[in-house]
Amino acid sequence: MSIDINGKIFAETPRPGQCLRTFLRELGHFGVKKGCDAGDCGACTVLLDGEPVHSCVIPAFRADGHAVTTIEGLGSETRAHPLQQAFLDAQGFQCGFCTAGMILTCASLNQAQRQELGVALKGNICRCTGYRSIEDALDGKTNVEDAAAGSAFGRSLPAPAGPLVVRGTARYTFDVQLDGLLHIKLLRSPHPHARIVAIDKTAALAVPGVHAVLTHEDAPKRLFSTALHEKAWMDPDDTRVLDDIVRFVGQKVAAVIAENEAAAEEGCRRLKVGYDILPAVTDPALAITPDAPIIHGGKSADIHRVSDASRNIVAETHGEFGDVAGALAISAATYEGTFTTQRVQHAALETHGGLAWIDTDGILNVRSSTQVPYLTRRSLAQIFDRPLDSVRVFCERVGGGFGGKQEMFVEDILALAAIATGRPVKLEFTREEQFIATSTRHPMRVIVRAGADSRGMLTALQLDVLSNTGAYGNHAGPVLFHAVSECISVYNCPNKKVDAIAAYTNTLPSGAFRGYGLPQTLFAVEAAIDELAKQLGINPFEMRRRNIVKPGDPMLSPPPSDYHDVRYGSYGLDQCIDLVERAMSAERPRYALSEDWLIGEGIALTMIDTVPPAGHLSDSTITLRDDGGFELTVGTAEFGNGTSTVHRQLAATALATTVDRISLRQSDTALGGHDTGAYGSAGTFVAGRATQAAAENLADAIKTFASELSSTGAADCTLENETAICGAERRSFLELARAARASGRTLHGSGNSAGTPRSVAFNVQGFRVAVNKGTGEVRILKSVQAADAGRVANPMQCRGQIEGGVAQSLGAALYEELVIDDSGKVINPTFRDYHLPSFADVPRCEVYFAETSDTIGPMGAKSMSESPYNPVTAALGNAIADATGIRFTSTPFKPDRLFPALLEKFGRAPDEPGQSIV
């Protein structure tokens, strides 16, 4: 065989059945990513004789005699390809996992194809950006800015890893080669509920290359939660590394460790497992009835933190302020509705996985795709009864997270296998495993009751919530409590009531997901606000203005919280409402529509606490290097959230330097310090405050040292343009670094943040939609979001976070749905059967920022990672109701879901299809 790869001839022969993607990666071309295994996502795109192909579905032998170009070979060693440079200039990426494939596809397009990007890019999925910045790259737009020394904060500076991302040399979890690597494959349960009575390993161990088979008999008995929080008591201890009871279809039963994946898979097929089938329940409403099968019998509230195992209730909350029933009875307008939301998968393009090994010092090393390396280390140390300093967890670049990697789904098995074999081990989930064995957004049933007086002032708000946490309680309580909090505390109302339950079922577990419960309940609450406004003849914008909290108002939801540290660090909700109303009322374009299309508008708002309660910790250190630059060390992870850029901006601003003078080390527990993790909207707000404190402390240390050299008081010294100025004397940072080294000193600063007090962020979303009354199709004509992000640290990045959040949330609102049948089995575990938004699906969103500066956040900034996602479904539901006059109360808003009600109201569709929208 002879394959030309990036201009170099390779004579290696692929294994029988090996796909081109795996063959290329084994040769070290790590820019070719594994995303879906089925040719659906485009992350593995390469050029074959100049044409883009998905290398995961091309047999490697078919490349014989052909030229293959991977992202590493698109440009030269000294010069980027024009498309690579265009993606840099436009910053057409966030996590970057899809970027190599996206660039190669874009580089192959001719001018005609560029006119139809929805068609041309249909084979390349981006989960992060919302596609606008990718389109900007193809249009040759430049979105990045420069910044003079000391002025980095507030500027649209590029991501530090950008050059590596566009060249395909940024290293993600599996972009590394280890000698002696063994591979793990997992046997999974075919039953929703069963007790394992026997596992015969004999045939599996006889497979050539199989080293070990691990079962519940080999695993620690300790119970833990896959959810990871700073305070472990937030989640129930209900999970084992490997259990003798399986509680959902897809739960891991055994791990086979072998020389290669094929041997490990064959070992799994040959395992013989005896099951004692147990009764199962998949409906949360049935699960909490007295006669339902008990899923976690024997677990208690005081020891395991399971609220009532006898009723399959893992968590619950109940409370009332005032008298809701009495208020509803005398209200001028009332509304009651039952809303349901579906399971949604995170669909990060890099699946869960990692590598583990024990080094010569006896340290257990785990290289993982995780948002929470420090909490993972703590959990592994506890499970395996190891000293904390004998465990290291780290990540390089992470290919998307969205909350799904605030879990420990693979690291426990990796650790068990590394300890058992003494060899380096690898576990990488397939896309199917990602769908059937990780977690989803919590499906919820929400009953809302609301009332208002004749002036449009709210008199009552009541929520009754049933959340389906699945087989395990990871995040069940915190998601439930968050779901019923800010959605009603953003409104002033004298009478509020909450009853909420999270129920175990024998289905795939739910977990942390962007928005953390609020999108589900906002769908109901914001519908109720609109319905009350409609009854009273009040404009929806005005209805909200009359009832939203304002600075000085208490932010209340029952029962009373134990945490009272939420502040109005800045308040821009009123501005956000005004910005969206102004944008929505701007002159409308003419729409070429047939009579079948109905047009409507809708809005929704959200408030979110910028940090979880009960503590979120972060440490940061920064040192003046010998060359006059700086080395910054932070714990927080980068997975497209942009914190790597913001941390350098914060430090550069405080130290009167430029971001290129600051090198960054992060996401590695071996570097010391602690960081709770990149979740809960804390990456900038908490970790950023630690970095700001560290940089300011180093600035003080530099001024003090410079003052000693000049015999000038430190108070009279300033930093300017990489120079310390003390009176008439100026010393560059390079001079000071040399002087410090000569005197045996190191100039450094450290900072930390405890995540308290907390602030609040606000977002308002508006939509104009067209609904086809004959087919149920929904088209988005206009999308607008306004955000109060405080002082925006990086406008380009923040805009991208908002656009990506809106795009991801639109997928959940319109079509994304993980379907589980009555037996508990996921029936659409592939991208092909689970519709992710592609380029053509996502309308461009107008983004506006309120002009505020947060008094708590770093340099006036606050979070904007989760909150853009939250109001989208609610606003879309309100727009559809405005268009059709029908209140649809279940998501997703698929045409076949809308059609029956539309047919009942408007009659049968005409024989001839209506004219489409221009």
The pLDDT tens digits for 648-702 are 999 999 999 999 999 999 999 999 999 999 999 899 999 999 999 999 999 999 9
Residue 315: strand pairing partners: 502
Ramachandran angles phi, psi of 528, nearest 5°:
-60, -40
Q: Whole-angstrom Cα distance, residue 796 to residue 142?
A: 11
Residue 601: strand pairing partners: 768
Does 252 have pLDDT greater than 80?
Answer: yes
Cβ atoms within 10 A of the Cβ of 673, count?
18
Q: Whole-angstrom Cα distance, residue 60 to residue 397?
A: 28
Distance of CA 414 to the CA centre of its chain: 23
b/e code 144-167 from CB counts within 10 Å (16+ = b): beebebbebbbbbbbbbbbeebbb
Q: What is the arithmetic mean of pLDDT over 54-68?
A: 97
Give residue 915's pLDDT.
46
Contact 875, 765 (CB under 8 A): yes
Q: Whole-angstrom Cα distance, residue 543 to residue 275?
A: 58
Q: What is the arithmetic mean of pLDDT over 754-761?
A: 96
Over residues 162-190, the pLDDT tens digits come to: 999 999 999 999 999 999 999 999 999 99
Q: Which amino acid is it at 560?
A: P
Pick 89 or 77 by higher pLDDT. 89
DSSP state of 167: H
For strand 364-368 and strand 391-394, is the pairing parallel, antiparallel, or unpaired? parallel
Does 95 have pLDDT greater than 50?
Answer: yes
From 55, 59, 56, 63, select the one nearest 5 (Cα to Cα): 63
**To 10 degrees, what angle do helices 82-90 and 99-107 make?**
130
- How far, in Å, are 36, 172, 347 from residue 125 at the CA level? 10, 18, 10
Give residue 771's pLDDT.
98
For strand 630-634 and strand 618-624, is the pairing parallel, antiparallel, or unpaired? antiparallel
Q: What is the arithmetic mean of pLDDT over 567-586?
A: 97
3-state secondary structure 694-733: HHHHHHHHHHHHHHHHHCCCHHHEEECCCEEEECCEEEEH
Give residue 589's pLDDT.
84
DSSP state of 144: -
Q: Whole-angstrom Cα distance, residue 615 to residue 29?
A: 42
Length of the chain: 918
Q: What is the arithmetic mean of pLDDT over 141-149?
A: 97
Tokens representing 491 are: 């409104």
Q: What is the gyration radius of the CA atoms in the chain, in angstroms?
A: 28
From 848, 789, 842, select the one nearest 813 (Cα to Cα): 842
- Regarding pTM above 0.95, the answer is yes
Look at the block and give the residue holding tokens 């195992």.
Answer: 309
Does 916 have pLDDT greater than 50?
Answer: no
Tokens representing 590 are: 């003419």
Q: Whole-angstrom Cα distance, residue 751 to residue 696?
A: 9
Q: Whole-angstrom Cα distance, residue 691 to residue 708?
A: 26
909 pLDDT band, cuts 50/70/90, is low
Give residue 681's pLDDT.
87
Contact 176, 396 (CB under 8 A): no
Give residue 662's pLDDT.
98
Q: What is the arithmetic mean of pLDDT over 78-95?
A: 97
Does 912 have pLDDT greater than 70?
Answer: no
Cβ atoms within 10 A of the Cβ of 272, count?
11
Does 913 have pLDDT greater than 70?
Answer: no
Does 249 have pLDDT greater than 70?
Answer: yes
Does 911 have pLDDT greater than 70?
Answer: no
Cβ neighbourhood burial of 285 (10 Å; 0-12, 13-18, 19+): middle
Tokens representing 812 are: 């959940």
Cβ neighbourhood burial of 60 (10 Å; 0-12, 13-18, 19+): buried
Look at the block and give the residue holding tokens 């509705």.
Answer: 337
Tokens representing 342 are: 């579906």
Give residue 78's pLDDT.
87
Give residue 910's pLDDT.
54
Q: What is the arithmetic mean of pLDDT over 580-605?
A: 93
For strand 444-452 and strand 425-428, is the pairing parallel, antiparallel, or unpaired? unpaired
From 803, 681, 699, select the one nearest 403 (Cα to Cα): 681
Q: Which residues are within 8 A (CB) of 273 and not within 5 positions of it... i.e. 6 or more apart? A: 187, 196, 198, 199, 200, 253, 254
From 134, 151, 42, 125, select the one nearest 89 (Cα to Cα): 134
Q: What is the arithmetic mean of pLDDT over 580-604?
A: 93
Pick 9 or 592 by higher pLDDT. 9
3-state secondary structure 497-549: EEEEEEEECCCCCECCCCCCCHHHHHHHHHHHHHHHHHHHCCCHHHHHHHHEC
CA angle at residue 648 from 643 to 652, to 5 degrees? 150
Q: What is the arithmetic mean of pLDDT over 43-70?
A: 97
Contact 169, 72 (CB under 8 A): yes
Q: What is the arithmetic mean of pLDDT over 865-881?
A: 97
Residue 239: strand pairing partners: 224
Q: Whole-angstrom Cα distance, residue 696 to residue 622?
A: 10
DSSP string, 87-132: HHHHT--SS-TTHHHHHHHHHT--HHHHTTHHHHTTT---SSS-SH
Contact 645, 368 (CB under 8 A): no
Does 914 have pLDDT greater than 60?
Answer: no
Give residue 918's pLDDT.
39
Residue 718: strand pairing partners: 725
Contact 281, 240 (CB under 8 A): no
Adjacency order of strands within the sheet including 245-246: 245-246, 194-200, 272-277
Over residues 327-383, the pLDDT tens digits come to: 999 999 999 999 999 999 999 999 999 999 999 999 999 999 999 999 999 999 999
Contact 414, 358 (CB under 8 A): no
Residue 53: strand pairing partners: 46
